[in-house]
A and B are shown apart, each in its own frame.
Chain A
Amino acid sequence: MRSQVLHGLNMSSPPLDRDQLRTRLEHMGRTAHADDQGRPTAQPTGFANFDALLPGGGWPVGAITELMPETQGIGELSLLLPALAKLSRAGRYLVWIAPPCLPYPPALAQHGLVLNRVVLVQARDTPSVLWAAEQALRCPAIGAVLAWPAALDDRRVRRLQLAAETGGSCGLLYRPPTAALQPSPAALRLRLKALNAGLHVEIQKARGGRAHALVVYPAAAVCA
């Protein structure tokens, strides 16, 4: 991908001197979000102020993100929807494992998700949830795995982290707010709480970045 861009520069732009070229390359390195094999290392969240605070410029790809909402129904899912919509439109599958309620198909379609790329997995107990998440994370055709395990320890998160690295998808784990007290090897950890009309996002940990907090305004709650 990078070489194509360079090629394009040569064709259409006047020759650059060495410093200009270096500046252009550095700029591309920051924004292309691609690892050595050309896979993106981050999936833009769709919220510019949020992307700006995340090390790769979006949700970590090939890694685990933990979301710890204070309570249900504050926008904890809407935060993901722009990225999920984009992944599904690119033909990647979205696997939801043991969600607490039905992800309502008409609402997902309203947010631009391709429904025939969405797979729901019911799992009775925590080991089944984690097993299913691991299987799904290893598969490169799956763009994002969302899972709601009842209980989790850092050893299990590390296993899922390895699986996500193998498959190159976004692993998104929903955990209770008390999980924030335990350490975790996840690449990104977010505490979420409601704030007036918005969602207060506290970046508790971001691998390669800094802790921060911001408010985003997911579209979901803007009701008729």
Chain B
Amino acid sequence: MLWLCILLPRFALEASAGAARGPEHPPRPPPAVQAALQNLALWSLQWSGQVSEHAAADGSALLWLEIGASRRLFGDHASLRGCVAAGLIPLGYTHRLGIAPTLQGAALLARAGLATSAVTGTQLLQLLEPLPLALLALPVEQLAALHGAGLRRIGEVLALPAASIAQRFGPDANLYLQRLRGAVHEPLRYVQAPAHFHTRYEFSDPVTDTTALLFPLQRLLAGLQGYLRARERAVQRYTLHLEHRRGAVTRLAVSLTRPSRDAAQLLLLARERLAVTALAAPVHGLGVTASEFLQPLVVQNDLFSRADQQSEQFQQVLDRLGARLGAGAVQAMSSTEEHRPERAWHLHAARLVALTAAAIGPAGGQRDGSERPSRPCWLMSEPRRIDRPQELLAGPERIESGWWDGADVARDYYLAREPNGAQLWVFEDLRGGGWHVHGLWA
């Protein structure tokens, strides 16, 4: 086993970022800190299947990731260490990392701020040897007792026989030192990825501006990304819960054209959605839930063709337009075989068609209609009543249809020209009488 320890010395304080910081700021209540730590643990599941977390009473927190098994996926421990560090920076947590074959060893190296990793037990003992006693995770009284016995360096303590340590400094100190050097294994509870994703953040001061939601949201979505990567899944939809007073909640659904598990992309869409959302009431808590999961699109970077890349960019533009303007505002079109002009077409959510477009391909657009009567480029949403046009250039084209579904029409269509040169598509209603304009030859 090889452990990467993430030490978060100011976790309890920083878990409330976005609100006022400083010594006068009251410490976070433990449930909120625990929720933030749980979310960060989900985030770290993307690096390792075995993650354990611990929140300490002094406001610090520890995460351990077993990385011996993940080396195959992420390269050697040095590059994995780099990935984790780079991932932590945008989340805004002060952190130190340590790598060692034992949990306590990794934590101690993180506390010491050593950039060197210990991969074997021997390397660990070599690194520990010159370090001062104060870095040991022991109660102050026991550290004082060790100091009083003339010991100054960790190496000197580890050189003593175990029985002697237990006798002079107590069984707890002995157990800790045994675990530190790897002679005794430590029982651990691993973080489990739940079946549905749910994570939340509690504001210490209620928020009235949606931009204040973005930083905590970035952290929550980082948790979602780790969760999805760990489970080899992606989402096409997730929900933001804006919690107000007395249990009132505003739910905002965020949809994507294609399944994704990229926190940056998920955040971008949420930002568009929030930009056009007026808060009904101050927000006390923020939650993210996702319960429908899909297979991620497997994309190998070296095989990612230019066409795929462009299609991906196009999907992202559709997602952004939909997030900001409303999903119904972005539409694709199709035409059907139907005589009645107002029924010869359909509009539908762009996402469906965009997905099938790749399958149909550009060959779908054969020029048709050379044998059919010409149609105008603009169609009015409703035919508009007009006086009989003075100049009819072409027609009539009789359109008679629909008696079977109760929307029957009988019309004679003409091309008409207005004095200003505009060319209209007009019809004379043979049932109800009167002239109507139905389209424009634009």
Chain A contacts to B: CB under 8 angstroms: 70-78, 81, 85, 88-91, 93, 99-124, 128, 131-132, 135-136, 138-142, 193-195, 220-224
- CB pair A106–B375 under 8 Å, yes or no, is yes
Known contacts A101-B379, A101-B381, then 13 further A-B pairs from the complex at CB < 8 Å, ordered by chain A residue: A91-B361, A91-B362, A111-B367, A115-B332, A115-B334, A116-B334, A116-B364, A120-B330, A120-B347, A139-B313, A140-B310, A223-B415, A224-B397
Q: With A88-B362, A135-B320, A220-B377 as known contacts, state yes or no: A72 contacts B372, CB within 8 Å.
A: no
Binds A, one of B95-103, B290-298, B418-426: B418-426
Q: CB-defined interface of B364-375 with A at 8 Å, one 1/0 digit per residue?
A: 111111001111
- CB pair B441–A220 under 8 Å, yes or no, is yes
- CB pair A78–B368 under 8 Å, yes or no, is no
Between-chain CB contacts (< 8 Å), 10 pairs: A74-B422, A75-B423, A77-B378, A78-B377, A89-B365, A110-B369, A115-B365, A141-B311, A220-B441, A224-B373
B183 within 8 A of A: no
Q: Nearest chain-A residue to B361 (Cβ)?
A: A91
The residues of A that contact B264 with a CB separation of less than 8 Å are none
State in angstroms the CA–CA spacing of A85 and B394 once bound together. Answer: 26
Binds A, one of B49-57, B168-176, B321-329: B321-329
State in angstroms the CA–CA spacing of A224 and B421 once bound together. Answer: 18
Q: With A73-B442, A123-B325, A223-B393 as known contacts, state yes or no: A106 contacts B344, CB within 8 Å.
A: yes
Where chain B touches its partner, the secondary structure class is mixed
* 9 residue pairs, one from A and one from B, having the closest CB atoms: A194-B421, A114-B365, A73-B440, A110-B369, A73-B422, A141-B314, A101-B378, A141-B310, A77-B442
B159 nearest CB across to chain A (Å): 65
Q: Nearest chain-A residue to B368 (Cβ)?
A: A109
The residues of B that contact A117 with a CB separation of less than 8 Å are 357, 362, 365
Q: With A132-B321, A140-B313, A141-B314 as known contacts, state yes or no: A104 contacts B345, CB within 8 Å.
A: yes
**B residues 336-380 with Cβ under 8 Å of A?**
341, 344-347, 350, 353-354, 356-357, 360-362, 364-369, 372-380
Most buried by A among B329, B361, B394: B329
Contact of B314 among A109, A122, A139, A222 (CB under 8 A): A139
Q: With A91-B362, A104-B377, A110-B374 as known contacts, state yes or no: A71 contacts B331, CB within 8 Å.
A: no
Q: Nearest chain-B residue to A104 (Cβ)?
A: B379
- CB pair B394–A115 under 8 Å, yes or no, is no
State in angstroms the CA–CA spacing of A101 and B321 once bound together. Answer: 20
- CB pair A221–B379 under 8 Å, yes or no, is no
- CB pair B368–A119 under 8 Å, yes or no, is no
State in angstroms the CA–CA spacing of A170 and B243 once bound together. Answer: 44
The residues of B that contact A110 with a CB separation of less than 8 Å are 367-369, 372, 374-375
Q: CB-defined interface of B411-431 with A at 8 Å, one 1/0 digit per residue?
A: 000010010111110000000
B397 nearest CB across to chain A (Å): 6
**B residues 30-68 with Cβ under 8 Å of A?**
none
How many chain B residues sit at the interface, stated as a range, is 35 or more
- CB pair B335–A109 under 8 Å, yes or no, is yes
- CB pair B378–A103 under 8 Å, yes or no, is yes
A148 nearest CB across to chain B (Å): 11
State in angstroms the CA–CA spacing of A2 and B395 once bound together. Answer: 50
Q: Nearest chain-B residue to A117 (Cβ)?
A: B357
Most buried by B among A76, A109, A110, A121: A109
The residues of A that contact B344 with a CB separation of less than 8 Å are 105-106
Contact of B318 among A119, A124, A128, A222 (CB under 8 A): A119
Q: Nearest chain-B residue to A120 (Cβ)?
A: B331
State in angstroms the CA–CA spacing of A99 and B329 once bound together. Answer: 12
Most buried by A among B318, B331, B374: B374
Q: With A103-B378, A220-B441 as known contacts, state yes or no: A85 contacts B310, CB within 8 Å.
A: no
- CB pair B394–A112 under 8 Å, yes or no, is no
Q: Nearest chain-B residue to A79 (Cβ)?
A: B442
State in angstroms the CA–CA spacing of A193 and B420 once bound together. Answer: 9
- CB pair A119–B350 under 8 Å, yes or no, is yes
- CB pair B321–A100 under 8 Å, yes or no, is no
**B residues 383-442 with Cβ under 8 Å of A?**
393-395, 397, 415, 418, 420-424, 439-442
The residues of B that contact A108 with a CB separation of less than 8 Å are 333, 377
B145 within 8 A of A: no
The residues of B that contact A124 with a CB separation of less than 8 Å are 325
**B residues 172-217 with Cβ under 8 Å of A?**
none
Q: Nearest chain-B residue to A194 (Cβ)?
A: B421
Most buried by A among B361, B380, B422: B422
- CB pair A72–B335 under 8 Å, yes or no, is no
- CB pair A224–B321 under 8 Å, yes or no, is no
- CB pair B318–A104 under 8 Å, yes or no, is no
Q: Nearest chain-B residue to A85 (Cβ)?
A: B365
B303 within 8 A of A: no
State in angstroms the CA–CA spacing of A131 and B365 once bound together. Answer: 29
Q: With A91-B307, A221-B423 as known contacts, state yes or no: A122 contacts B325, CB within 8 Å.
A: yes
State in angstroms the CA–CA spacing of A114 and B421 once bound together. Answer: 29
B317 within 8 A of A: yes
The residues of A that contact B415 with a CB separation of less than 8 Å are 221, 223
- CB pair B378–A104 under 8 Å, yes or no, is yes
- CB pair B422–A104 under 8 Å, yes or no, is no
- CB pair A73–B441 under 8 Å, yes or no, is yes
State in angstroms the CA–CA spacing of A140 and B307 once bound together. Answer: 10
